[in-house]
Chains A and B, each alone.
Chain A
Amino acid sequence: MRDIPHKAPTASGDKGVASDGTRSWRLKCSVNGEPVDVMVDPTQTIFHVLREELRLTGTKGACLEGECGSCTILIDGKPVTSCLVLAPQVQGTSVTTVEGLADDDRLHPVQDSFIACGAVQCGYCTPGLVVSAAELLEGNPNPSEEEVRKGLAGNLCRCTGYTKIIDAVLAAASDDEEPAAAGAEP
């Protein structure tokens, strides 16, 4: 099974959708370890720049008012809702998006655990959640269920009821090799 193929987003950002149309700010930062040096509209958010200019569409947006957490990224390792951060605010920082979590083909343990535990339904909140969860485990490798709930309180999910998300984060944190729900590949 697979997702239906779509025309992939193109990389040419020559025609702006910027709010005032002027790319007057030279944004220099790193995104997922790669240097970025682009002219952007300084009134735009980093959320917009990531998706529309850099074509990193893994970062999702469901409210654009900082409530849902779908747009969570890490700036210098700290989670933020990227819809509330203007592009110039990330100048000189190191940005990590969901696309930067996996090490080539090797998924981050949280990503793998989300699949194994059935924590993904529609998957729209998933990028924000795995970014938040990865950061949570970075600072607290063995969180309690209560700490997982607090750590993910800024990420809304409408499908799962959160139970399997909590399972997934706890499973990723534990030393057990594979969560019980892994299900064997042939």
Chain B
Amino acid sequence: MSTLGKRIRRADARGRVTGETLFGGDLVGSEALTIRVIRAPIAHCNITGLDIEAARAIEGVVAVYTHEDIEGTNKHGLIRRDQEVFVTERVRYRGDALGIIVAEDEATAQRALDAVKIDFEALPIIENAEQALQSDAYPIHPEGNVFCNKLLRKGDAEKAIAEADFTIKCSHSTPGVDHAFLDLEAGYAELDGKTVVIHAPGQWVHEEQRLIALALGVAVENVRIVQPATGGAFGGREDISIQIYLGLAALKLKRPVRIQYTRSESMVTRHKRHPIEIEYTLAAKADGTLCAAKVLITSDEGAYLSTGPAVLRKAVSHCTGPYRVPHIWADGRAVFTNNNPTGAMRGFGAVQMAIAYEGAMARLAKALGMDLLQLKKKNLLQDGEPITTGQTIVISGAEQCLDEAAAEIGWQGRSYESPEPHLRRGFGLSCICFGIGYGDSFPDASRARVKFSDAGKLEVYTGAVDFGQGVHSLAAQIAGHELTVHPSKVEVIAQDTHRTPEAGSSSATRQTVYTGNAVRLAAAELRQEVLDVAASYTGLHWDELTLHEGTVVGKQKESICMPMASVVRLGRERGYKLDITSLYKPTTIAGGAKDGLSPRAFITYMFASHAAEVLVDMETGEVKVERVVAAHDVGRAINPQQVEGQIEGGVVQGLGMALMEEVIVSEGRIVNDGFTDYIIPTIIDAADVKAIIVEREDPEGPYGARGVGEPGLIGTPPAILAAIGDAIGVPLSEAPATAERVWRRIQESRNGGEGERRRASRPSNVVRLRGGK
């Protein structure tokens, strides 16, 4: 029986509940030397002297390495190699590394770190995009501080805005956010002959292998990554972290080495979600039909490029979400500052845009005196209509998701009854879309190898990294489905550059579609080969045979029953390999240089809708999110339990972004660099979350499935912010909606009277809605 669509147990869960599973920091062989990193003294300076002699002289210090010890390019970076492994002269942010100490133990390494003397010439620290854009701002990189522009031009937005009945103008700012995965950067490396084997967590082992080899000047085949169990990533492991340090030390010293970041070091060094300022103009006819959007996006890119241009493109290409907007003018620019580089994080530009366009929609509904649900329904894309970039959407589950979310939260009959006089209730809705994969003509591909062992065990080889989302379980389920083997009996060999084929990164909500398809293709071909072997042996046509629980049986003749081990033995004797590697590599088309439009920016899009219910304390500004409903058109849920898990987890991360998470930086130094000050949601903060799975099968996906990684987060902040706005009577423009910000907004509205007018106008609305059905 196939397990597609079934809630199967994940095979990798057992070691995690018993504590047996080893993560990067658990590889604690006592013979390993300890690495510590010498960091920049301030966020922006030129290094004029680095005295490591005293550190080197300490007993137990085995080596101190700086840029002078690196034989390769000494550079890394996902899109552009613009970040030095060890700074030669210019420091651009606090997390820049100047070198590493390798010592016999942690305590010695710390003493050596304290003995390093750094001389430097301070440069002006550019703290935000506004400062970076000043004409006399100090250039952080040679080309200046604006490094990237992305645009989108569709129709004539200016004219459409001028002719519209209603125009909403608003600005939003979204915070820098930390991934805050629990499993800190930690790893282990040792030599195997000439090859350095690095056990460290990342998101794309083959790209990391190439970057390490380039930086260190060693052959690619002499760098092997074997990724250990990895505790979360959320985009935060896309940029290189500890891998090059481990590789360098192991290669130089020919001894095993280990490294373990602290939470502070992890936060100070790692890239963040882009803080983005968005000016949004949304125009509509009197009946609520959207006419045009004008969008200006400014993102703080921090000190290095990271994946910044891709994030900006995603923001621009998602700037009107799942709505039908015929005229669009959008400009995005990314600006260097001396803050942490900003790059990939779950939501990747799309969540910032969702906050902006849904903020504008909530304001528009109010201006029109129209129910938010009706305004959205009127404008959501239907099957066959073009999305922001001009791409035709084949399957749009947008409206179905909205209907499901609204019904579950009880939108029509919603009651504003409050348990206490100082508490006010509010409801919000959001609709979002998300393009799956890298898109925009990037050569995005996944390969998978599916074979039988000599003993007849089904094996899947994939380079895809699993940091908790369950792609390995998915691979087992798909291969098992094609070959009628229960996933618990499928062996998955994964995330090892030397044993597994390249699958691209585990990011961009892409692995279900990309690696899912690659596994499906390979497994289907293997199934055919198995039947061919059995046919040639039995003398039947292959179509007269089938597979049942991993055994070849006759469809008609029940006497025929060939165990897989026999098929494999007979097949291999006759030259059948029963070992298939397949490639899934669909094409996408880059946005036009002059208009950013593309008939196929992404292979497919997914749609979702969230509904939120909050209680706001009008005296303190505190917000309690009572319920979040998230309806997602996932195409087909291969394992509904995992799909729900992704949605629920995304919702609570989104709740963190909406209410509490914000990286606070002063002069390039992160002020809240630990879990005491950088607050993420606890089980008490987490709302009652209801995930609703909508299944409109996608022609691109394996068995109709789409990805589910990011959208659960994306839809949440806009729904919660809308609910808070509903409760307090005025919209919010800044995330996170901390108690202080909400309280200030309440005071402003009281002083300006806007909030009271909003209150007064609502009852008629409510009455109409309640009478609706």
Point out the residues of chain A lying under 8 angstroms from B23, CB to CB.
60, 124
- Judge whether B491 and A99 touch: CB under 8 Å: no
Point out the residues of chain A lying under 8 angstroms from B149, CB to CB.
none
- Judge whether B488 and A186 touch: CB under 8 Å: yes
- Judge whether A57 and B182 touch: CB under 8 Å: no
B520 contacts the other chain (Cβ, under 8 Å)? no
B507 contacts the other chain (Cβ, under 8 Å)? no
Point out the residues of chain A lying under 8 angstroms from B8, CB to CB.
183
- Report the minimum CB–CB distance from A126 to chain B (whole Å): 5
Given A21-B107, A67-B675, A122-B183, does the pair A15, B30 have CB atoms closer than 8 Å? yes
Point out the residues of chain B lying under 8 angstroms from A68, CB to CB.
182, 675
- Judge whether B17 and A115 touch: CB under 8 Å: yes
A27 contacts the other chain (Cβ, under 8 Å)? no
B52 contacts the other chain (Cβ, under 8 Å)? no
- Judge whether B19 and A67 touch: CB under 8 Å: no
Proximity string of chain B (366-386) to chain A, C-beta cutoff 8 Å, 1 when within and 0 when not = 000000000000000000000
Proximity string of chain B (1-25) to chain A, C-beta cutoff 8 Å, 1 when within and 0 when not = 0010011111111111111111101
Bound CA span A63–B645, Å: 24
Bound CA span A41–B492, Å: 42
Proximity string of chain A (49-73) to chain B, C-beta cutoff 8 Å, 1 when within and 0 when not = 0011001111111111101101000
Given A7-B27, A161-B648, does the pair A183, B7 have CB atoms closer than 8 Å? yes
Beyond A122-B181, A156-B680, A164-B648, list 13 extra A-B contacts (CB 8 Å). Answer: A1-B12, A1-B490, A6-B228, A17-B107, A56-B19, A60-B231, A62-B263, A114-B13, A117-B641, A122-B230, A124-B232, A156-B182, A164-B641
CB<8 Å pairs between A and B, sample of 13 = A1-B12, A2-B492, A6-B228, A14-B30, A17-B34, A17-B105, A115-B14, A127-B17, A150-B684, A156-B682, A160-B649, A161-B653, A181-B641
CB-contact partner of A99 in B19, B106, B183, B494, under 8 A: B19
A125 contacts the other chain (Cβ, under 8 Å)? yes
Which residues of A in the span 134-160 have a Cβ within 8 Å of any Cβ on B? 148-150, 152-153, 155-160
- Judge whether A6 and B22 touch: CB under 8 Å: yes
- Report the minimum CB–CB distance from B585 to chain A (whole Å): 25
B535 contacts the other chain (Cβ, under 8 Å)? no
Bound CA span A55–B9, Å: 28
- Judge whether A118 and B675 touch: CB under 8 Å: no
Bound CA span A120–B470, Å: 10
Q: Which residue of B lies closest to A101 (CB)?
A: B18
B469 contacts the other chain (Cβ, under 8 Å)? yes
Which residues of B in the span 468-489 have a Cβ within 8 Å of any Cβ on A? 468-470, 472-473, 476, 486-489
Point out the residues of chain B lying under 8 angstroms from A166, CB to CB.
683
- Judge whether A123 and B473 touch: CB under 8 Å: no
B644 contacts the other chain (Cβ, under 8 Å)? yes
Point out the residues of chain A lying under 8 angstroms from B105, CB to CB.
15-18, 21
Q: Which residue of A lies closest to B230 (CB)?
A: A122
- Report the minimum CB–CB distance from B296 to chain A (whole Å): 33
Which residues of B in the span 642-656 have a Cβ within 8 Å of any Cβ on A? 642, 644-645, 648-653
- Report the minimum CB–CB distance from B272 to chain A (whole Å): 15
For chain A, give the interface size range. Answer: 35 or more
A residues with a Cβ closer than 8 A to B are 1-4, 6-10, 12-21, 51-52, 55-65, 67-68, 70, 97-99, 101-102, 107, 111-112, 114-118, 120-127, 130, 148-150, 152-153, 155-166, 181-183, 185-186
Point out the residues of chain B lying under 8 angstroms from A21, CB to CB.
105, 107
Point out the residues of chain A lying under 8 angstroms from B106, CB to CB.
17, 19
CB-contact partner of B9 in A52, A102, A124, A183, under 8 A: A183
B599 contacts the other chain (Cβ, under 8 Å)? no
Bound CA span A150–B685, Å: 11
Given A18-B107, A115-B10, A185-B486, does the pair A58, B648 have CB atoms closer than 8 Å? no
- Report the minimum CB–CB distance from B610 to chain A (whole Å): 13
CB-contact partner of B29 in A7, A19, A97, A99, under 8 A: A7
- Judge whether B488 and A185 touch: CB under 8 Å: yes
B residues with a Cβ closer than 8 A to A are 3, 6-23, 25-31, 34, 104-107, 180-184, 188, 199, 226-232, 234, 262-263, 467-470, 472-473, 476, 486-496, 549, 641-642, 644-645, 648-653, 674-676, 680, 682-684, 686, 689, 691
- Report the minimum CB–CB distance from B217 to chain A (whole Å): 27
Q: Which residue of B lies closest to A186 (CB)?
A: B486
- Judge whether B182 and A70 touch: CB under 8 Å: yes
- Judge whether B17 and A107 touch: CB under 8 Å: yes
Point out the residues of chain B lying under 8 angstroms from A130, CB to CB.
17
* Chain A CB within 10 A, most for which of B11, B25, B231, B493: B231
CB-contact partner of B227 in A4, A62, A114, under 8 A: A4
- Judge whether B684 and A164 touch: CB under 8 Å: no
Bound CA span A57–B231, Å: 14
Point out the residues of chain A lying under 8 angstroms from B21, CB to CB.
3, 123
- Report the minimum CB–CB distance from A33 to chain B (whole Å): 15
Bound CA span A155–B684, Å: 10
- Report the minimum CB–CB distance from B147 to chain A (whole Å): 31
- Report the minimum CB–CB distance from A135 to chain B (whole Å): 15
- Judge whether B10 and A120 touch: CB under 8 Å: yes
CB-contact partner of A6 in B31, B183, B199, under 8 A: B199
- Judge whether B182 and A52 touch: CB under 8 Å: no
Bound CA span A166–B644, Å: 14
* Chain A CB within 10 A, most for which of B7, B105, B469, B644: B7
CB-contact partner of B16 in A18, A116, A123, under 8 A: A123
Point out the residues of chain A lying under 8 angstroms from B10, CB to CB.
1, 115, 118, 120
- Report the minimum CB–CB distance from A156 to chain B (whole Å): 6
CB-contact partner of A121 in B27, B263, B470, B676, under 8 A: B470
Bound CA span A147–B245, Å: 45
Point out the residues of chain A lying under 8 angstroms from B468, CB to CB.
121-124, 159
CB-contact partner of B472 in A1, A97, A156, under 8 A: A1
Given A149-B684, A156-B182, A166-B683, does the pair A4, B495 have CB atoms closer than 8 Å? yes
- Judge whether B228 and A158 touch: CB under 8 Å: no
- Judge whether B6 and A183 touch: CB under 8 Å: yes
- Report the minimum CB–CB distance from A87 to chain B (whole Å): 16
- Judge whether B229 and A3 touch: CB under 8 Å: yes
Bound CA span A121–B16, Å: 9
- Report the minimum CB–CB distance from B255 to chain A (whole Å): 13
- Report the minimum CB–CB distance from B714 to chain A (whole Å): 14
Point out the residues of chain A lying under 8 angstroms from B28, CB to CB.
9, 51-52, 55, 57
Q: Which residue of B lies closest to A146 (CB)?
A: B684
Q: Which residue of A lies closest to B679 (CB)?
A: A67
- Report the minimum CB–CB distance from A53 to chain B (whole Å): 10
Given A1-B487, A153-B683, A156-B680, does the pair A114, B17 have CB atoms closer than 8 Å? yes
Q: Which residue of A lies closest to B26 (CB)?
A: A57
Point out the residues of chain A lying under 8 angstroms from B16, CB to CB.
120, 122-124, 126-127
Point out the residues of chain A lying under 8 angstroms from B676, CB to CB.
63, 65, 67
Point out the residues of chain B lying under 8 angstroms from A2, CB to CB.
11-12, 491-492
- Judge whether B683 and A152 touch: CB under 8 Å: yes
- Judge whether A161 and B107 touch: CB under 8 Å: no
- Report the minimum CB–CB distance from B97 to chain A (whole Å): 22
CB-contact partner of A118 in B183, B642, B674, under 8 A: B642
Point out the residues of chain A lying under 8 angstroms from B486, CB to CB.
185-186
- Report the minimum CB–CB distance from A105 to chain B (whole Å): 10
Point out the residues of chain B lying under 8 angstroms from A63, CB to CB.
263, 674-676
Bound CA span A58–B20, Å: 6
Q: Which residue of A lies closest to B495 (CB)?
A: A4
* Chain A CB within 10 A, most for which of B9, B16, B496: B16
- Judge whether A121 and B180 touch: CB under 8 Å: no
- Judge whether A123 and B13 touch: CB under 8 Å: yes
- Judge whether B488 and A120 touch: CB under 8 Å: no
Q: Which residue of A lies closest to B677 (CB)?
A: A67
CB-contact partner of A3 in B22, B30, B473, under 8 A: B22
- Judge whether A118 and B489 touch: CB under 8 Å: no
Point out the residues of chain B lying under 8 angstroms from A13, CB to CB.
30
- Judge whether A118 and B644 touch: CB under 8 Å: yes
